[in-house]
Structure 1
Amino acid sequence: MAQTNQYTKILLSKKIGKEVSSYSGGYGTVYDSGTKTQGIVDSLGNITFESRSGISHIFKNRFILTSQESGRIKSTVIDEKGNQLLPLDEQTFNTPWLSDERIISSKAGKDAVYDYNGRLIIPYSDRIQFAGEDRFFVLKDKQWFLYDPEGKQVNSRGLKSDFHFENGRALIINETNESEIIGKDGQTLHKFSRQVYNSDAYPYLITKNKTTGKYGLIDTEENILAEEMFDEATPEYFGEKKYIYLRKKGKATVFSKEDRNLYPANFKYLTPLFDHLFTVYNDKTGKTGIVNLQGEIIYPQEYDFIRNFNISGKDFIYLKKAEQEQLLDKDLKNILEENTRIIAFYPDRLIIKKQDAYYHFSVLDKSVSVMKDIASIKEQLPDFFNIFNLYSKPVVCRNSSGMYGIIDEKGKEIVPFTYDDIIAFENSENEFVVKKQDKYGVLNFQNEPLKDIVYDKYYWQKEVLRLDKDKKTDILYFTRFKNKGNRL
């Protein structure tokens, strides 16, 4: 079976006649409104455990059971059959990153770490924090000590605060109030005389002057790469992370990691494209242009939208100005014919429109293949694209008979052309509304029926879709488009 967790939850609810409120990893939680009990259900619809206590799903076949007796709330971890894996006690749980290996129990002001079979890993201590990757910080006698997932203290060094590890490193303030980078075993990797403010661009480090509050840049050997004279300093958090941006009086200076040089610019914000090219946005006109690393204007700030795409392994820049569109290759040559519009961007191809016909377009050899019996395609606005939506969704199409369906990037029909209308949402949701004979229902991009086509109206309300029928309202929570759900 290749159905989503979302659809499995709906099928199980119909099969057992009870509301399945969550499902993943082969198990879900269920509520019986008649008996006011909660339970655990497996993928076949078998109720494996029931209780009047609260049940919340952690992962796969592990759950938290919460009961209230005489005003006292007690909790424990159970398996799918209700077997208690920890003592039922007045405690709360922290599942770091929804880990399927370790869980932190907190009670009476103390913390402990258990595994999901009930084995005590780290005994109750003043406090325990998940430190990232495979480390915990444990507070004892007002000092924080590093522990591994097996409950072993990795060294004897105590720190004043807990910190978080990324890529096996953590930026700390040490015992002598110096900035220091430590490894996963607490060992000193680098120590600095300047105050290090941010280490996300390691091995380059953003510093902050304690007196002036100004920012600068050094490397791990404490060589000064930029004096502490800037109002802001920001590393790149996405993409290739080639640059660090330092700003002063509304103007950016770009530090290139490649050649370790600073490049002043006359613009406040720059967004990297490729080959040391950047988009620059004009706040006053709302228009965008392109500059190079030296600050030279390559395309003036007169475009409505500019963005880079990687298609068939090659980099391209898309520019749109009113009805004019260009797709530039690495040599900044437009590969589109005149009067061509791009409808959708996919990792291996484009959908384009020329005159009144739609085509699949290959950027490799510029070949086109007509999309048969497609009269129109609902287009997505350019601001749909962001770090979470790198490419277009499957497209909503209308055929020559006036019926709507959805096709994927390869032209495969994933939702049949049987609907009077299809309303897809522009914030990357996996759900969309279908209309047939003046009634509305809900499908997802796996063509799974989530709500029957029986509703009179629908309303989009941020995280939920509201559907009205006979003065009654049903609610469907959105899932993100990229989260297609685990397969069974």
Structure 2
Amino acid sequence: MRKLVFALCSSVCMAQTNQYTKILLSKKIGKEVYSYSEGYGTTYDSKNKKQSIVDSLGNITFESPYSISHIFKNRFVLTSGTSSQTQSTIIDEKGNELFPMTGQSFNTPWLSRQWIISSKTGKEALYDYNGKEIIADADRIQFAGEDRFFVLKDKIWNLYDLNGKQVSSRNFKENYHFENGRTLITNEDQQSEIIDLNGQTQHKFSAQIYSLAAYPYLITKNKATGKYGLADTEENILAEETFDDAAPEYFGAKEYVYLRKKGKATIFNKKDKKLYPNNFKYLTPLFNDFFSVYHDKLKKTGVVNLQGELIIPQEYDFVQSFSISGKDFIYLKNEREEKFLDKDLRNILEENTQVIAFYPDQLIIRKQDAYYRFSVSDGAVTPLKDIISIKKQEPDFFNIFNLYSKPVVCKNNANLYGIMDENGKEIVPFIYDDIIVFENSENEIVVRKDDKYGVVNFQNEPLKEIVYDKYYWQKEVLRLDKDKKQEILYFTRFKNKGSLL
């Protein structure tokens, strides 16, 4: 059976994942490391009831009977006392206090690496991570994005930069959040107004602006009717306030705004500034003004153009756009066929070809029980030697966060499983009786050998030895059973006891 190979290193092995380093550190020091990132982690000794900071080589750099929470790199929150009387401070990896330890709490909601908000006795202050005070004695401090804070004193909000300098003499009744250097406010005259990072007016409107999400086009809302419309920054009306709702395209090219009324969408095209009424409620943009549309009753998907004309009938179970080798394609699949359409809607796949995986520069396909790498540029195919099967990812894997396939789980002609990347390179060796991946292809992979289970990741780092009798997937964790005892392993996208992996 495969054993964990202990190979702790620091600057020499930068490619080693935090996840694996945490496991190796736990093995070396004999205590579980609950967090590890950027050279430091934390651990707890149940015998002496102390928490510790551990570095990348397994050295304990500081220990304390108090609670230690890792913020980032070599910065930690040290908290003492009971829930009724708590004191806390920020420390470095050696336990040096950067703030006096007092009855305060710290706010790091955006995981800032430079600034931290301290709350104490009803007042807040802004510090940098060396303990320097930036803003003092405020009723409240709110991070406003893009190097700005709103600071509340005497029921008035003022705008400050990150050096603690007030950048505008203007007073605000509430705080706002900046995106792309601007934010939408309601001014003293109850008008909608756009201001820049210095509080200066960029635009002022007579209409009620609802959202800047489609800027430089503005979603408006009629106070009396609650209906939505669309205007530009000069208050030229682009769509009357007659729509039940309005939403921009949040991801991708952001070329459209969708206005809906009575279950049908009207598309505003930013390129030509025109409205295109449509008979469909929801449309998903593909490319070149093509959209996928879902039929609720048939439970099938097709493709329409900007004018709402059905270009591809609603008879497919899965429709998705992909950018491969700098070119745009539409993939369609149903129980009878698969198609991969280019910009001219020409299918570039031969008949009876299946697409197994989508990568930025090529596809992996199956044709006549053999597997190939397929170039979309010239149609060239390269055989994947000795591969007799590949586990295909389900279509619902693909979304805005998973634009392409993960490396594929393959079985070779010796009936052993391994994992290959998009170039056909072996990244997990073909030595297993089975390999199981999970929803969204978490970085944790269960492997089976000789009827025992273990865990590796896509970097081929052994996370759990192959000694377990059973495994269970429980959303946030893998549960592994051995000799009627249970262990858990957190998936890397979930927090493990307050730390990010």
Deviation at 1:286, TM superposition (A): 1.0
Q: Quick one: which of 136, 146, 152 aligns to 1:133? A: 146
CA distance in 1, matches of 2:320, 2:238: 30
Structure 1 outlier segments of 4+, above 4 Å: none
Aligned-pair CA distance for 1:198: 0.8
Whether 1:413 and 2:426 are equivalent positions in the alignment is yes
Q: What does the per-residue CA deviation read over 1:217-259, in whole Å, with 9 as the maximum and x for residues that have no partner?
A: 0011111000000001001110000000000000000000001
SS of the residue aligned with 1:14? Answer: helix
Aligned to 2:346: 333
Instruction: Report the 3-state secondary structure (helix = DSSP H, G, I; strand = E; otherwise coil) of the residue aligned with 2:136.
Output: strand
Indicate the residue corresponding to 1:188 in structure 2.
Answer: 201
Matches within 5 A, 1:104-253: 104-253=117-266
- 8 Å contact 1:380–1:426 — kept in the other structure? no
From 243, 251, 267, give the equivalent of 2:280: 267
Counterparts of 1:316 and 1:147 in 2: how far apart (Å)?
A: 47
**What CA distance in whole angstroms lies between the structure 1 residues aligned with 2:193 and 2:299?**
42
Letter of the structure 2 residue corresponding to residue 215 of structure 1: Y
Shift of 1:88: 0.5
Structure 2 counterparts to residues 30-69 of structure 1, below 5 A: 30-68=43-81
Please say if 1:373 is aligned against 2:386: yes
Q: 2:337 is matched with which residue?
A: 324
Q: Compute the displacement of 1:70 (Å).
A: 9.3
CA distance in 1, matches of 2:82, 2:326: 61
Question: Alignment partner for residue 367 of structure 2, among 340, 354, 369?
Answer: 354
1:454 to 467, 472, 488: 467
| Residues 400-479 of structure 1 aligned to structure 2 (within 5 Å) | 400-479=413-492
Equivalent position of 1:485 in the other structure: none
Ranges in structure 2 where 5+ consecutive residues have no aligned partner: 1-12, 495-501
Distance 1:70 1:478, change over 3 A: closer
Moved more, 89-98 or 124-133: 89-98
SS of residue paired to 1:191: strand
Name 1:364's counterpart in structure 2.
Answer: 377
- In the alignment, does 2:320 pair up with 1:300? no
Which residue is equivalent to 1:344? Answer: 357
C-alpha separation between the residues in 2 aligned to 1:70 and 1:196? Answer: 45
RMSD: 1.1
1:101 aligns with 2:133: no
TM-score (normalised: structure 2): 0.95
Q: C-alpha separation between the residues in 2 aligned to 1:70 and 1:175?
A: 42
Indicate conservation of the 8 Å contact 1:346/1:392, yes or no.
yes
Query: Deviations for 1:278-320, whole angstroms, at most 9, x for unmatched residues?
Result: 0011111110010000111100111111110000111010011
Instruction: Tell me by how many angstroms 1:480 deviates.
Output: 3.9
Q: 1:486 maps to what in 2?
A: none
Secondary structure in 1 matching 2:24 = helix
SS of 2:455's equivalent in the other structure is: strand
| Number of residue equivalences | 481
Name which structure has the greater RCO, CA cutoff 8 Å, separation 6+. Answer: 2
My pick for the range that moved more, 339-348 or 469-478, is 469-478
- CA shift at 1:96, angstroms? 4.1
The match for 2:25 among 3, 8, 12 is 12
Q: Per the alignment, in what secondary structure is the counterpart of residue 225 of structure 2?
A: coil
Q: Tell me the SS of whatever aligns to 1:8.
A: helix
CA distance in 2, matches of 1:63, 1:27: 10
Secondary structure of the corresponding residue to residue 6 of structure 1: helix
